[in-house]
């Protein structure tokens, strides 16, 4: 269906603005999800790095012990 209302029609402007708000809200929700995923990945990286550092210390300790 064709919308024949002009750009100066206030109801059309309101509908357009509501659509923009909905779009921004969806984008914000997506952004929050992505930020959460990044935080989870950062946490995993830190855990793995700590594990590697611990293994390096063990290897160094065992190498020096011989």
pLDDT bracket for residue 63 (50, 70, 90): very high
**pLDDT tens digits, residue range 37-50?**
999 999 999 999 99
- pLDDT at 2 > cutoff 80: no
**HEC profile for the chain?**
CCCCCCCCCHHHHHHHHHHHHHHHHHHHHHHHHHHHHHHHHHHHHHHHHHHHHHHHHHHHHHHHHC
Tell me if the pTM is above 0.85. no
The per-residue pLDDT for 7 is 80
- 2 vs 47 pLDDT, higher one: 47
User: For 3-27, how does the pLDDT look when each residue is reduced to its tens digit (9 = 90+)?
Assistant: 778 888 899 999 999 999 999 999 9
């Amino acid at each position: 269906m064709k919308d024949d209302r002009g750009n100066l029609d206030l109801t059309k402007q309101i509908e357009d603005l509501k659509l923009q708000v909905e779009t921004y809200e969806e984008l914000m929700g997506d952004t929050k999800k992505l930020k959460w995923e990044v935080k989870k990945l950062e946490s995993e990286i830190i855990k793995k790095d700590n594990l590697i550092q611990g293994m390096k210390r063990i290897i160094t300790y065992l190498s020096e012990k011989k």
